[in-house]
Structure 1
Amino acid sequence: MDETVLPVAQDGQYQITANDVGIYLSVWAPAKGGWTVTRAAIIEELTNRKCTNFDSNFISVVIREAMGTPVLIANTGPKIDGRYEISANDVGVYLSVWAPGNDGWPVSKAAIIQDLTDRKCTNFDSDFISVTIREAIGAPVLIVSSQLSVLPPENLVRVKVGCKRLEARVSVNIPVDKPLITYSQLLADLKAAGVCYGIDEDALSMLTQTHTATNIICARGTPPCKGDNAFLKYYIDPDSQGRPVELEDGRVDFKETNNFLCVEEGQLLVEKIPATPGTPGTDVFGLPLPPKPGNDIQMPVGQNVINVDDWRLYAAINGHLYIFLDKRINVIPIIVIDGDVDYSTGNIDFKGSIIVRGSVQPDFFVKAGGNVEVCGTISGGMVEANNIIVRKGIQGMKRSVIKARERLVANFIESATVFADEDVIVNDVILTSSVYAGLRVIVEGGRGLIRGGRVSAGELIRASTIGNQSGVVTEIAVSVNSLLKDELISLRQQIKKAEVTYNELQLAMSHFRNQGSKHLSSEKRERYTKQELEYKTLPDRVETMKQRITNIERILNTAKPGRVRVSGYIYPGTIVCICSLTKSLNDSLQFVSFYVVGGEITFSSLR
């Protein structure tokens, strides 16, 4: 007798590792109803390892996320203090400042000022030194110009250049018994001070009309423009998560809530738009002012993503997008619903596997490209997946349709329609349901009862009891794979039709391209866009149909001659169908096996 082995619960796990940077914590989620990792156990182990500089709240977050990858929770690397360097050339005195690392101390402004004073340099701007320390770009910054103040003979005109070399100010102090300064003299004074760029002619003209003026801006440099920062362009909008779908008529479908951002293998997720270098400026001496480039940004590489040249992130697997606390992009192959599938989650259509801790409520559906496990019941909902496990059972309410592309395992099935390409395995009862299995239907373990409805299998139906003493009509059929055969015929017809459609679309694409998209009307352009999308996706749909045909042919070719085996009683009112033959029971039978011999349905004892 075949037995159904249900998965064993697995508790969550954690691992603590360390390197030169710090201490890392990896946490794995529990499976099949196992216990989660406790924060107390992790904190106790960290304390035993003499590690105390951790954030217990952040540890709780890492446990909850349970990504299975190392997360830095404590920094142990050496502190690196900030440093500075003072240099000089013909232009002036420069200050280079490097930022501290790993919580090290920043550069002291007092130390720099003391160093400058010791070097007999006093005409600096204290506030500008503060700015240089704060920005800490690690490159020389001019803080004192050797041409800051140039006094021509007789002290009639003074030219002063600002510390950033972006302004030249002129002061004149001409005795009233002396003639006014001329325009050409002012230009010569500026040239003598090295000022040759951004001359303000109007300001110079004004100075030619006065004996006294102070700090008049007569030249302006062009400041450099900092480059634009790098940023991430998301091809999946994270803000659309949890937003209900709006229908064409303006109504909102609260069953379609987009709680999970599903992605496919190879799909582009994120692209980094690089920082720009900025635009250089020019100081009043005509010298270039280098721009500060825009800030770079790290690619948010997480689990199951492919980082191409630190430029683009692609999904490595089918799954759903999950953005971790530190903004890393992850693709998770399994969706776990902690409660029911209802209005709080909406319908779920996912290419990976799904675990539902609660139940699937009426009129909601769960569709998976992988497997589905429901820890509660399917109560009037719909489920489609490869393998389906329903821990408590299926309460169909005459509207549930369950489709398993491989095997279905449930505690009971009542008032539901169930399809499985391979086996349907039930622990307790099948009541008034339509059940179709490509290979076997096995109802054993509890009552092992099939009563009412129709149960069909490709090669074997096995139960403890079929029907009841009241004579409820119960139809049992084996070696009748009409559903799979009908689907096989339909798929072959669809492939032929798709091949014709593909050729037509190919001609249409060629015609549109020859015309040129610029010359198309808006209506034709919209039609072209739709046809182009169908042209690109049709080959994948055909390939999926071909794979389905291969699977159906395998099931039909490997099926054994049909049998019905009853280890208890089979009651009157039961109709047994094997191939095209039918036998109605008028008497109760016990411990029997039904099969075909000589063109008739016969039975023999199992004893």
Structure 2
Amino acid sequence: MQNGYFQVVRTPGGYGLQIFQPKDGGEDVRLQEVMDYLDRQSIPYDSMSIKKAILAEEDAVCFLERKDCPEIEESCRIEVSEDNLQAIVRFYPASQTGKRATMDSVIKDLRFRNIVYGIQMSVLQDHFMSDGIYCTDLVVARGKEPRHGTDAYIKYYFNTDVHAQPTLKDDGTVDYFHLNMINPCKKGQLLAEVIPEDEGEYGTTVQGAKIRPRQVKKAHLEFGHNIEISEDRRRLTSLVDGHVSLVEGKVFVSDVYEVENVDLSTGNIDFEGSVQVNGNVSSNFVIRAGSNVIISGVVEGAYIEAGGNIIIARGMNGMAKGTLKAGGNIVAKFLENATASAGGYVSTESILHSNVIAATEIQVTGKRGFITGGHVRAGQKIEVKTLGAMLGAPTVVEVGVDPEKKAEYMKMQKEVSEIVKNIRSLQPILANFAEKKSKGVRFTPDQINYLRNTAASMETLNKSLEEKNRRMQELQLEFNPQERAMVQVRGEVYPGTTIIIGDSSMQVKSTYHYCRFERIDGDVKSTPL
């Protein structure tokens, strides 16, 4: 392939410009490039004649002037790319009476332009050892691009997904004995290590200037008790047998307190680490754990609180007093006559006459998969097979608002109502004192002291009312339903069910099948799955 080019040549009676057509798919001669060249040489021309010669199918000569052909030496134009990583030379042939340039002169020109790095001698040799490569961009110098490094990162040797779901069997039930959400660890086990940053390598411009690679980030390990860090502070290992978890970038290992049953033989349990119960938890007993609570049996009307997850393999019959409170997720075979609150999700096969709250999702799956009676609330989504009951047991499901914030709002409503009641009881007292004072009535020291105390109480109440009203306004702004908040039903929805999404609600008056309830144009509406 050869680009088209041009040359000033002798012609009968003067000199002209010969256009050499491209070969093997090369580029055509550029009219503007020809005119710029002739302007630099102060040679007069007719652009239309040149254009006609360029468009000709064969090599053609365009007459320029009735004078001797000027002696024009071979020349070149040097350009440097914007990133300073390439120097490009474009050669123009000498006139028929002129001389060729030399390789040394071109190198001298490059150095004059401060192009000193990555000179491509072979490219220059190809030009000067041949008849010349003209009107073609030749890369005669190449800089070195910087090799950008990579940030340091921490590699964890345990599952860090706090939203991991329980394992589902082929028949649709949950395998509560093989959960993938708890991470047991052994003493001496490697938990995490820092993979160091790669600084990368400097690059070089064709002018010889250094190009700094992008700055990379370092990483460091954060950890709690029961963990040892290596001398180079790059590796964490466990000092005990326990459970490992990652909370807000910090690695924790909790000891495990293991018992057969929680009953009169153990009493209540309050433990900083994790608690594992191989049997059952009897009614009226309390378990408080800083990390996870794992129960292989059934829970009766007990109170269980965990900073992490609560897992109950055989479910909970709360007897209208049992309570679960988890900072993480709650997984149980069933929840019956219980109160449950999770900072993450709730996963179970059935919920019966219970008050259940989850910050994210509630999944009621499995063969039965029903929610009947009670009040079930989730921040984002509720997924269930059967919702309500044929006999019309009042069932309320609610999504779209953070349950904790809504509970805070409801509590504040009651507090504000009580404050307003107290303010109204004090107003007549202060008004009575003010009226008597205007009539010149003199008060005893005890009356004055009572007045001061009443006025101070009024000021405190007004200040508290202002703060609570402000907080209620903030909460109201957050009560817009979360995007795609929904109740998804893979079976039936029975009459007697109330579905609330944000501040909109729907009373179900007829049976629905295989549908999704969403908030559309301000109303709760059903759409098919």
TM (norm. structure 2) is: 0.41
RCO greater where, 1 or 2, for CA within 8 Å and sep 6 or more? Answer: 2
Higher Rg of the two aligned structures = 2
TM (norm. structure 1) is: 0.36
